[in-house]
Each structure stands twice: as C-alpha cells, then as structure tokens.
Amino acid sequence: MLLMADNLQITKQIVRSAVASRDMAPIQALVKECVDAGADGIDINPGPLKRRPGATMRFLVEAVQSVSSCPILLDTVNAEALAAGIAVCQGSAIINGISLEPHKLEKIAPIAVAGDADIIGYLLYPNGHVPPDAAERLNIAVELVDAVEKRGIDPTRLIIDPVIVPVAWNDGNTQAWEVLEVLRHLPGLLDRPVRTIGGLSNLTSGNVQRYRKILLECAYLPMLAASGLTMVLMNMTHPETVRIARACRALDRNSVFTWEAIL
C-alpha cells in the first residue's frame, strides 16, 4: 500500500499564501516533511484555479519536483491546469481524477491520453452523487472502465477510487463498510488486478478535533489495507496514522516481514 500525501492543499493558509506570492520555500518545506515521514507520492490540490490555472499548476509542480522525485497527483478539474502540470512533470504523473460525469469525460480523458498519464476514476453517478452501496459502486466501476476505454485510455491506467465519505453523514458508518466490499470484489468483477486509492482524510473531513481524526484513521486504515487498497491518500503529518500504515505494509502477505519496515 503506497502512502500518498494529501497535505498540499490550497485550503491551507500556508499553501495559499505561497501560491499568491510565488514563494516556493513553504511548499518545499511541506513536501520535505511529507517525504521524510514516508510519503510515496504527493497530491497537488490547488482548487478550481479560476485565475492563471496553467501558471499556478506549473509553479506547484516545479516546487514539488525541486525537492522530491515522488510521483505527483494532479488534483484539479481544471483542464488547462492539468495539461500544464503534465507538461512540466519530470517523472510519473497521475491525474486526479475522472468519473462518469460528462464534463469530466469530455475534458479530462483527452488530457490523460495525450499526456500518457495514469488517471484516478471515482465511482460516482453521472450527476456526481455518491452511490448508496457496494453493488451500485461496482456497477459504476464496469461503466467507468468501458467509458474510459472508449475514449482511448488503457483500462490498466485507471486507478479506481470507491469514494470514502465522512463518517458523520447519516449513513457514514454503512458507507465505510460498503467501500471495503468494493475493494474486495473489484478484481473478481473486472477479472484482473486493479489499482485502487482511497482518501482516508475524507472519513473525518470538517471541523473534527485532531485526536478524533487520528483515532478513526488508525481504526479504518487497517481495514482498508486488509481489503486490498493499493494507495491511501492521507495526512502525512499525522505520525500515529503513518505508523499504522507502515505496520500494515509490513504485514502484507506478498512481502517478508521485518521490524525495520515499521520502526
């Protein structure tokens, strides 16, 4: 299970200020902190980018690449920004992401094809709503694979996100379990190994106290790992959760256990 840092978000004041002033130093410091904590990839989430989308994404990618060679996840629905980000990526780029929403298929799929990039696919209805259960998500997975293939994307380039929702939703607890069912059944349904990703931070999004966030992260992460999650998008400045993630990786059935992998 790869650990992908979700810390580089425009909603954070330090990131927002750095972008506004085009000051790479705060971005570089944040990325270094994530990499030192064990991040295998860096998600760049600059928001909707209504002004100078291409220049802003280039700035962020260049800032990240100046201190890290980790794969980069370009996390925006702005097509101009995605194209600009891929153009300056020196290593692996992953587009985050696409779904059955028509405007995303129309605008983002061609960028993935042109940039020869992997792409994350969300199991959402065409109207952007979250399905209520595993069965609906699995149906959408089949439709999504077909939709991206028709648009020239090799299905093996697709990384499926079953969509983790806030546990505070009325059906949040049920949804958390439905996601696990999706992870377990996807390989059999699609008849091939499937790469998956889940946003662990989504489980406790909103105004939740830090210790409560970490408590639920540490409980749910092993469940995701046991269900076969390939990549987890998470806050790398939560050392308690990172330690759990490292322990989960050390217990992977396809690796040889060593204490060094945890400590």
Q: What pLDDT digit, counting tens, does each position of 203-235 carry?
A: 999 889 999 999 999 999 999 999 999 999 999
Amino acid letter, 10: I
**How far apart are the C-alpha atoms of 238 and 204, rounded to whole Å?**
13
**How far apart are the C-alpha atoms of 15 and 179, rounded to whole Å?**
31
DSSP character string of the chain: -EEEEEEEETTSHHHHHHHHHT-HHHHHHHHHHHHHHT-SEEEEE-TT--SSHHHHHHHHHHHHHTT--S-EEEE-S-HHHHHHHHHH-SS-EEEEEE-S-HHHHHHHHHHHHHHT-EEEEE---TTSPPPSSHHHHHHHHHHHHHHHHHTT--GGGEEEE-----TTSTTHHHHHHHHHHHHHHHHHHHTS--EEEEEGGGGG-SS--HHHHHHHHHHHHHHHHHTT-SEEEE-TT-HHHHHHHHHHHHT-TTS---GGGT-
Output Rg (C-alpha) for the chain, integer angstroms. Answer: 18
Q: What pLDDT digit, counting tens, does each position of 29-75 carry?
A: 999 999 999 999 999 999 888 889 999 999 999 999 999 999 999 99
Q: What percentage of the chain reaches a pLDDT higher than 90? A: 90
Amino acid letter, 73: L
pTM: 0.94
**How far apart are the C-alpha atoms of 70 and 44, rounded to whole Å?**
12
> Tokens representing 71?
């794969």
Q: What percentage of the chain reaches a pLDDT higher than 70? A: 100
Closest CA to 231 of 165, 134, 164: 164
Reported confidence tier of residue 259, pLDDT bands at 50, 70, 90? confident
pLDDT at 91: 84
- Check if the beta carbon of residue 196 is closer than 8 Å to that of residue 229: yes
**How far apart are the C-alpha atoms of 190 and 155, rounded to whole Å?**
10
pLDDT at 260: 77
**How far apart are the C-alpha atoms of 65 and 42, rounded to whole Å?**
10
Reported confidence tier of residue 262, pLDDT bands at 50, 70, 90? confident
pLDDT at 97: 92
For residue 180, report the phi and psi dihedrals to the nearest 5 degrees.
Answer: -65, -40
Amino acid letter, 233: L
